[in-house]
């Protein structure tokens, strides 16, 4: 039975997989732009996201992403290759970070809390709103107005956010052994209380 996907869901899965593949293929901040054979790419989606996608839907979505100039498709020796136009594309990085943080949640919790705090000047409040929304979307919990929490080490992901989000320069990364109202956070992240 074929799983039904919401509008844009396959594109999100593809962008996350492309980004993670590229980010893990190099260092987190210096990334090679390498081509991927489509058959191998579908296997990579299965490995990273645990989802089996039909080849025709993947091809169709890749063509749409090429029209949006996010990726480049090239045919070599009867194989379709996928190249990322810009690894620092905000959409690719957002979905990649979200997926990387989801993967971390499948590991054993160390008992530490990882906080991202920021103080964006009032004159740049639009950056503050964007930063808040971005952190929520990728998986952080809003502890206070400008304090976000995640239960797993995420320094590389935060460094990446600092690099691509305009307001990122105002971010600070903190590691805490204990935090007040911990049970609320544990419930949110499905951790043992």
Domain ranges in the chain? 9-92, 105-188
Please state the pTM of the whole predicted model: 0.75
Q: At what angle do helices 90-104 and 155-164 cross, to 10 degrees?
A: 170
Mean pLDDT of 52-65: 86
| pLDDT, averaged across the chain | 83
What are the pLDDT digits (tens) for 131-145?
A: 999 999 999 999 999
Q: At what angle do helices 38-49 and 55-67 cross, to 10 degrees?
A: 100
> What is the fold of 9-92?
Arc Repressor Mutant, subunit A (1.10.10)
Q: Which of 73, 28, 176 is closest to 116 using CA atoms? A: 176
Q: Which of 97, 109, 192 is closest to 154 using CA atoms? A: 97
Q: Are strands 141-144 and 113-118 parallel, antiparallel or unpaired?
A: unpaired
Given CATH 3.30.70.240, say whether it is the number of domain 105-188. yes
């Amino acid at each position: 039975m074929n799983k039904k996907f919401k509008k844009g869901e396959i594109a999100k899965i593809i962008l996350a997989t492309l980004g993670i593949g590229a980010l893990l293929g190099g260092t987190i901040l210096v990334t090679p732009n390498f081509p991927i054979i489509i058959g191998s790419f579908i296997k990579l989606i299965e490995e990273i996201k645990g989802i089996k996608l039909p080849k025709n839907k993947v091809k169709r979505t890749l063509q749409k992403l090429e029209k949006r100039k996010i990726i480049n498709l090239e045919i070599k020796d009867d194989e379709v290759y996928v190249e990322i136009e810009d690894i620092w594309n905000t959409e690719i990085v957002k979905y990649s970070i979200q997926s990387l943080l989801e993967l971390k949640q499948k590991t054993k919790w160390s008992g530490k809390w990882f906080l991202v705090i920021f103080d964006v000047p009032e004159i740049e409040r639009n950056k503050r709103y964007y930063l808040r929304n971005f952190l929520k979307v990728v998986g952080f919990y809003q502890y206070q107005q400008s304090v976000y929490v995640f239960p797993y080490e995420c320094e590389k992901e935060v460094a990446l956010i600092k690099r691509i989000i305009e307001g990122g320069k105002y971010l600070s990364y903190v590691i805490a052994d204990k935090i007040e109202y911990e049970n609320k956070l544990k419930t949110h992240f499905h951790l043992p209380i």
